[in-house]
Amino acid sequence: MLLRAENLALRYSNGALGIEDVSIEIDEGHLVALIGVNGAGKTTTCRALSGFLKTEDMKIVRGKVFFDGADVTGREPHQLTRIGISAVPERNKVFPNLSVREHFISAGMHRSRAERNQMLEFGLQLFPRIRERMKQSAGKLSGGEQQMVAIIRALVSHPRLLIVDEMTLGLHASLRGPLFEALKTIAAKGTACLIIDESTAHTLANAEYCYLLEGGRTTKRGRTADFANNDLLDPGYASA
Protein backbone atom coordinates (compact mmCIF):
# COMPACT_ATOMS: atom_id res chain seq x y z
CA MET A 1 0.00 0.00 0.00
CA LEU A 2 1.44 3.40 -0.98
CA LEU A 3 -0.35 5.49 1.65
CA ARG A 4 -2.09 4.33 4.78
CA ALA A 5 -3.67 6.70 7.27
CA GLU A 6 -4.85 5.01 10.45
CA ASN A 7 -7.44 6.46 12.83
CA LEU A 8 -6.33 10.05 12.32
CA ALA A 9 -7.66 12.75 14.61
CA LEU A 10 -6.65 16.40 14.15
CA ARG A 11 -7.44 19.36 16.29
CA TYR A 12 -7.30 23.06 15.36
CA SER A 13 -5.83 25.52 17.87
CA ASN A 14 -9.29 26.95 18.54
CA GLY A 15 -10.20 23.52 19.90
CA ALA A 16 -12.24 22.42 16.86
CA LEU A 17 -11.68 18.75 16.23
CA GLY A 18 -11.15 18.94 12.47
CA ILE A 19 -11.35 15.16 12.07
CA GLU A 20 -12.01 12.45 14.64
CA ASP A 21 -11.25 9.11 13.11
CA VAL A 22 -10.14 8.92 9.49
CA SER A 23 -8.58 5.82 7.95
CA ILE A 24 -7.62 5.76 4.29
CA GLU A 25 -5.59 3.55 2.00
CA ILE A 26 -4.32 4.55 -1.41
CA ASP A 27 -2.49 2.25 -3.76
CA GLU A 28 -0.07 3.18 -6.57
CA GLY A 29 -1.73 4.54 -9.67
CA HIS A 30 -5.27 4.76 -8.32
CA LEU A 31 -7.65 7.70 -8.43
CA VAL A 32 -9.28 7.95 -5.02
CA ALA A 33 -11.81 10.53 -3.83
CA LEU A 34 -12.92 11.91 -0.51
CA ILE A 35 -16.60 12.80 -0.48
CA GLY A 36 -18.90 14.24 2.15
CA VAL A 37 -20.91 17.34 2.97
CA ASN A 38 -19.33 20.69 3.93
CA GLY A 39 -17.49 20.43 7.21
CA ALA A 40 -17.19 16.64 7.06
CA GLY A 41 -13.39 16.92 7.28
CA LYS A 42 -12.17 16.47 3.71
CA THR A 43 -9.86 19.48 3.65
CA THR A 44 -8.55 18.71 7.12
CA THR A 45 -7.69 15.19 5.93
CA CYS A 46 -5.82 16.60 2.92
CA ARG A 47 -3.88 18.92 5.21
CA ALA A 48 -2.91 16.03 7.44
CA LEU A 49 -1.69 13.93 4.51
CA SER A 50 0.23 16.76 2.85
CA GLY A 51 1.75 18.16 6.04
CA PHE A 52 0.10 21.59 6.07
CA LEU A 53 -0.46 21.60 9.82
CA LYS A 54 1.53 24.56 11.14
CA THR A 55 0.14 26.97 8.55
CA GLU A 56 -3.36 26.15 9.76
CA ASP A 57 -2.40 25.97 13.44
CA MET A 58 -3.47 22.38 13.89
CA LYS A 59 -2.10 19.21 15.45
CA ILE A 60 -2.40 15.50 14.95
CA VAL A 61 -3.78 14.26 18.26
CA ARG A 62 -4.18 10.61 17.33
CA GLY A 63 -3.35 8.20 14.55
CA LYS A 64 -0.55 7.60 12.07
CA VAL A 65 0.26 8.16 8.43
CA PHE A 66 2.45 5.64 6.62
CA PHE A 67 3.90 6.26 3.18
CA ASP A 68 5.56 3.40 1.39
CA GLY A 69 5.76 1.63 4.75
CA ALA A 70 7.49 4.49 6.60
CA ASP A 71 5.85 6.41 9.42
CA VAL A 72 5.57 10.00 8.10
CA THR A 73 3.10 11.29 10.70
CA GLY A 74 3.51 15.03 11.28
CA ARG A 75 6.19 15.60 8.65
CA GLU A 76 6.39 19.01 7.00
CA PRO A 77 5.22 19.63 3.41
CA HIS A 78 8.77 20.02 2.02
CA GLN A 79 9.79 16.69 3.60
CA LEU A 80 6.74 14.96 2.17
CA THR A 81 7.35 16.44 -1.27
CA ARG A 82 10.84 14.93 -1.25
CA ILE A 83 9.50 11.46 -0.59
CA GLY A 84 6.77 11.75 -3.19
CA ILE A 85 3.66 13.47 -1.84
CA SER A 86 2.68 16.67 -3.64
CA ALA A 87 -0.42 18.66 -2.89
CA VAL A 88 -2.49 21.35 -4.53
CA PRO A 89 -4.26 23.07 -1.63
CA GLU A 90 -7.80 24.36 -1.48
CA ARG A 91 -6.71 28.01 -1.48
CA ASN A 92 -3.71 29.99 -2.71
CA LYS A 93 -2.91 27.59 -5.47
CA VAL A 94 -0.45 29.90 -7.24
CA PHE A 95 1.88 32.79 -6.43
CA PRO A 96 0.16 35.72 -8.18
CA ASN A 97 3.34 37.71 -8.78
CA LEU A 98 5.43 34.88 -10.20
CA SER A 99 5.30 34.09 -13.88
CA VAL A 100 3.99 30.70 -14.92
CA ARG A 101 7.51 29.63 -15.91
CA GLU A 102 8.84 30.61 -12.48
CA HIS A 103 6.30 28.28 -10.89
CA PHE A 104 7.83 25.40 -12.75
CA ILE A 105 11.52 26.21 -12.45
CA SER A 106 11.22 26.64 -8.69
CA ALA A 107 9.55 23.24 -8.18
CA GLY A 108 10.98 19.78 -7.63
CA MET A 109 14.53 20.88 -6.90
CA HIS A 110 15.29 17.50 -5.32
CA ARG A 111 14.78 15.89 -8.74
CA SER A 112 17.23 15.93 -11.63
CA ARG A 113 16.78 18.52 -14.35
CA ALA A 114 15.92 15.75 -16.81
CA GLU A 115 13.18 14.39 -14.54
CA ARG A 116 11.73 17.84 -13.98
CA ASN A 117 11.73 18.63 -17.69
CA GLN A 118 10.11 15.31 -18.47
CA MET A 119 7.30 15.93 -15.97
CA LEU A 120 6.89 19.53 -17.10
CA GLU A 121 6.45 18.32 -20.66
CA PHE A 122 3.91 15.74 -19.47
CA GLY A 123 1.99 18.47 -17.61
CA LEU A 124 2.03 20.79 -20.62
CA GLN A 125 0.69 18.00 -22.79
CA LEU A 126 -2.18 17.59 -20.34
CA PHE A 127 -2.90 21.31 -20.40
CA PRO A 128 -1.54 22.68 -23.71
CA ARG A 129 -2.97 26.16 -23.21
CA ILE A 130 -0.49 26.75 -20.39
CA ARG A 131 2.35 26.59 -22.93
CA GLU A 132 1.11 29.89 -24.34
CA ARG A 133 1.05 31.48 -20.90
CA MET A 134 4.60 30.82 -19.70
CA LYS A 135 5.62 34.48 -19.44
CA GLN A 136 2.40 35.70 -17.85
CA SER A 137 1.98 36.45 -14.15
CA ALA A 138 0.01 33.63 -12.58
CA GLY A 139 -2.27 36.18 -10.91
CA LYS A 140 -3.51 37.27 -14.33
CA LEU A 141 -4.62 33.79 -15.37
CA SER A 142 -8.20 32.54 -15.18
CA GLY A 143 -9.11 30.36 -12.21
CA GLY A 144 -9.02 27.27 -14.42
CA GLU A 145 -5.58 28.11 -15.76
CA GLN A 146 -4.32 28.73 -12.23
CA GLN A 147 -5.52 25.28 -11.24
CA MET A 148 -3.73 23.81 -14.25
CA VAL A 149 -0.50 25.62 -13.33
CA ALA A 150 -0.79 24.35 -9.76
CA ILE A 151 -1.23 20.77 -10.95
CA ILE A 152 1.70 20.99 -13.38
CA ARG A 153 3.88 22.51 -10.64
CA ALA A 154 2.97 19.63 -8.34
CA LEU A 155 3.80 17.15 -11.11
CA VAL A 156 7.27 18.63 -11.67
CA SER A 157 8.25 17.14 -8.28
CA HIS A 158 7.52 13.72 -9.80
CA PRO A 159 5.08 12.70 -7.05
CA ARG A 160 3.97 9.18 -6.30
CA LEU A 161 0.86 10.66 -4.70
CA LEU A 162 -0.83 13.83 -5.90
CA ILE A 163 -3.44 15.40 -3.61
CA VAL A 164 -5.82 17.94 -5.14
CA ASP A 165 -8.26 19.72 -2.84
CA GLU A 166 -11.31 21.43 -4.37
CA MET A 167 -10.22 20.89 -7.93
CA THR A 168 -13.02 22.75 -9.70
CA LEU A 169 -14.47 24.99 -6.98
CA GLY A 170 -15.42 28.34 -8.51
CA LEU A 171 -14.49 27.23 -12.03
CA HIS A 172 -16.75 27.09 -15.06
CA ALA A 173 -18.51 23.74 -15.26
CA SER A 174 -16.96 23.08 -18.69
CA LEU A 175 -13.57 22.66 -17.00
CA ARG A 176 -14.64 19.72 -14.86
CA GLY A 177 -14.39 17.20 -17.70
CA PRO A 178 -10.85 18.18 -18.82
CA LEU A 179 -9.52 18.40 -15.27
CA PHE A 180 -10.88 15.00 -14.28
CA GLU A 181 -9.57 13.54 -17.54
CA ALA A 182 -6.13 14.94 -16.72
CA LEU A 183 -6.16 13.32 -13.29
CA LYS A 184 -7.15 9.99 -14.82
CA THR A 185 -4.21 10.27 -17.21
CA ILE A 186 -1.87 11.11 -14.30
CA ALA A 187 -3.13 8.10 -12.34
CA ALA A 188 -2.85 5.83 -15.38
CA LYS A 189 0.81 6.83 -15.63
CA GLY A 190 1.36 5.52 -12.10
CA THR A 191 0.90 8.51 -9.80
CA ALA A 192 -1.84 7.87 -7.26
CA CYS A 193 -4.29 10.77 -6.97
CA LEU A 194 -6.43 11.81 -4.03
CA ILE A 195 -9.13 14.24 -5.04
CA ILE A 196 -11.78 16.38 -3.46
CA ASP A 197 -14.29 18.09 -5.68
CA GLU A 198 -17.56 19.86 -5.10
CA SER A 199 -19.17 17.99 -7.99
CA THR A 200 -19.99 14.64 -6.49
CA ALA A 201 -21.41 13.54 -9.84
CA HIS A 202 -18.07 14.08 -11.60
CA THR A 203 -16.19 12.57 -8.70
CA LEU A 204 -18.26 9.40 -8.77
CA ALA A 205 -18.02 9.23 -12.55
CA ASN A 206 -14.23 9.40 -12.56
CA ALA A 207 -12.70 8.11 -9.33
CA GLU A 208 -12.10 4.41 -8.80
CA TYR A 209 -12.38 4.36 -5.02
CA CYS A 210 -14.23 6.62 -2.62
CA TYR A 211 -14.18 7.36 1.07
CA LEU A 212 -17.23 8.96 2.60
CA LEU A 213 -16.51 11.32 5.50
CA GLU A 214 -19.23 12.14 7.97
CA GLY A 215 -18.62 14.26 11.05
CA GLY A 216 -14.86 13.80 10.78
CA ARG A 217 -15.00 10.02 10.40
CA THR A 218 -14.60 7.71 7.45
CA THR A 219 -17.91 5.89 7.49
CA LYS A 220 -17.93 4.13 4.14
CA ARG A 221 -15.28 3.07 1.68
CA GLY A 222 -15.23 1.07 -1.51
CA ARG A 223 -15.39 1.09 -5.26
CA THR A 224 -17.04 4.21 -6.59
CA ALA A 225 -19.85 2.23 -8.19
CA ASP A 226 -20.99 1.24 -4.70
CA PHE A 227 -21.61 4.91 -3.87
CA ALA A 228 -24.09 5.70 -6.63
CA ASN A 229 -27.41 6.94 -5.25
CA ASN A 230 -26.04 7.26 -1.75
CA ASP A 231 -28.52 9.66 -0.17
CA LEU A 232 -25.94 10.76 2.39
CA LEU A 233 -24.25 12.81 -0.28
CA ASP A 234 -24.84 16.47 -0.89
CA PRO A 235 -28.19 17.51 -2.33
CA GLY A 236 -26.50 18.86 -5.43
CA TYR A 237 -25.40 15.36 -6.36
CA ALA A 238 -28.35 14.57 -8.61
CA SER A 239 -28.14 17.81 -10.52
CA ALA A 240 -24.40 18.53 -10.48
Residues within the interface to ligand ATP (CB under 6 A): 12, 14, 16, 18, 36, 38-44, 56
- In the complex, least distance from residue 62 CB atom to ligand ATP, rounded to whole angstroms: 15
Closer to ligand ATP by CB, 107 or 233: give it.
233
Closest CA relative to residue 35, chosen from 175, 162, 221:
221
Full strand arrangement of the beta sheet holding 58-67: 70-71, 58-67, 3-12, 17-26, 217-223, 209-214, 31-35, 192-195, 161-164, 85-88
Nearer to ligand ATP, 139 or 235 (CB): 235
Q: Which is nearer to ligand ATP, 157 or 200 (CB)?
A: 200
Q: What is the dihedral of CA 133, 139, 140, 144, to 10 degrees?
A: 70
> Could you give the CA distance from residue 223 to residue 147 in angstroms, rounded to a whole number?
27
Residue placing its CB nearer to ligand ATP in the complex, 48 or 141: 48
Q: State the nearest-atom distance from the C-beta of 213 to ligand ATP, in Å.
A: 6
Residue in 181, 173, 121, 124 with CA at minimum distance from that of residue 148: 124
The nearer residue to ligand ATP, 41 or 144, going by C-beta atoms, is 41
CB of residue 190 to ligand ATP, shortest distance in Å:
27
Instruction: Give the shortest CB-180-to-ligand ATP separation in angstroms.
Output: 18
* Rounded Cα gap, residues 190 and 196, in angstroms: 19
70 forms bridges with which residues in the sheet? 67
Q: How far is the CB of 38 from ligand ATP (least distance, A)?
A: 3
Of 205, 198, 191, the closest CA to residue 43 belongs to 198
